[in-house]
Structure 1
Amino acid sequence: MAPVRLFLSRLRTPFISMAQKSLEGVPSSRGLLAGREPRRLSIEGNIAVGKSTFVKLLTKTYPEWHVAAEPVATWQNIQAAGTQKGQTTQSVGNLLDMMYQEPARWSYTFQTCSFMSRLKVQLEPFPEKLLQAKNPMQIFERSVYSDRLHFEALLNIPVLVLNVSDDFSEEATKQEELIRKVNTFVKNL
């Protein structure tokens, strides 16, 4: 069995400059950091590799970090706006489940929805706790680059590869080892 890996990588510079541009009508809080631009890292990996578990571990270990998990609950409760006047919002259903049940029909729809939800999260103004942090850090469960990320492209950006073949969700020593590696990676950025 091949080792299962999580990738913790620094988001590319073009994304940072794209995110710094103000969206029309959206107040920008980025100027408040005065040169202390937060570090933005993404957690990448295959489905069911342990990304969400790792996000929970990071949240517990670093409460001052802003961690944005994938909005799985949103994907499982897709709402459609009414098309006729006076019609209320209707639930379309569980897009994630639909994609698994009928991938040929729903994969593209799901991919588009998941990309847009990640983009929305990554373009939001910085939360207040991040603005006040001594060393501001944003962690994203997958980046907007996930859809086209080819692992040979990881050679050009700082990457920490974590082998999570063994379950780390409950074992404290494995969690400590992962956190030590994260600390070293972040210090060397």
Structure 2
Amino acid sequence: METDGHDTKGRILRAAYELFYRQGFTRVSVDAIAERAGVTKRTIYYHFASKDDVIAAVMEVQHTYLLRQYQGWVNPSSCTATEIVADVFARLRIWADAPDWLGSGFSRVSAELADMHGHPARRAASRHKAAVETWLAERFSATGLGDASQLARQIMVLIEGSMSLALLHGTTEYIGSAMAAAQRLVDAAARP
């Protein structure tokens, strides 16, 4: 998580992110965040109105960081949809192979807060996933594909599904299978 390392709010957000990612969003208390950040609970409430606001702020910071991460996964010289898909899924597989990988925090918060549709963290997760999809559509469109938005949506389904199954079953084989399916979608989209 990227924040300014010298400010109190940044320390709170960094501590909250570390705890949320490891333990889940609903299980982490404000007391635990305060202890991890080395601040008082009162200090947290000085910067944030509620724990929900802390969660939403963490998601906003993560959005910027992770969108840049996704964009960095695609080699700047990759100029075909096939290359873009290969880059994204190869890097996704590397990320998921890390021993401390617990899946997408945006997907996890949405699952944890599934019954709270208006929650600010769910809205932040929705904005993030939509931004990744838009970025993919723009990249696919730049390759000359006709229905880049539809392809981007289909690829997002494969990304999300493969991450969930890789986490559930503890194997990145699902990400490899999703990449193969994505390549078939790209091939079909490229046909006149």
TM-score tier after normalising by the smaller chain length: 0.3 to 0.5
Higher helix residue share: 2
Structure 1-normalised TM-score? 0.34
Structure 2-normalised TM-score? 0.33
- Tell me which of the two structures has the higher relative contact order, counting C-alpha pairs closer than 8 angstroms and 6 or more residues apart: 1
Higher strand residue share: 1
